[in-house]
Amino acid sequence: MAGGFVASVLGAVVLAALTLHLLTQMAGHLSFQDPVGTLAAMGGMAVVLLLLLPFTALCARRAHSVWVRGSEPR
């Protein structure tokens, strides 16, 4: 139980940290002086969310199911 839970939680945390890192890096490129650049950065942020968020949710869901299975009485 512990190995599957730890791996799933670690995967979810790493993916969440990567998502936040990429979003903050792209937010740093937002300058409202250049509307096209701002739209490009916002589009990149949307792509990051669309690509990484499902995997993060999947890892978190997997960790939760391992946790529930491990806490069931035998």
pLDDT at residue 50, rounded to an integer: 92
Q: Which is more confident, 52 or 5?
A: 52
Instruction: Tell me the mean pLDDT in the region 37-59.
Output: 88
pLDDT averaged over every residue in the chain: 85
What is the pTM assigned to this prediction? Answer: 0.73
Q: Count Cβ atoms within 10 A of the Cβ of residue 1 and give its class: 0-12 exposed, 13-18 middle, 19 or more buried.
A: exposed
Q: What is the CA radius of gyration of the chain?
A: 17
pLDDT at residue 56, rounded to an integer: 87
Using the predicted structure, report yes or no on whether residue 21 has a pLDDT greater than 60.
Answer: yes
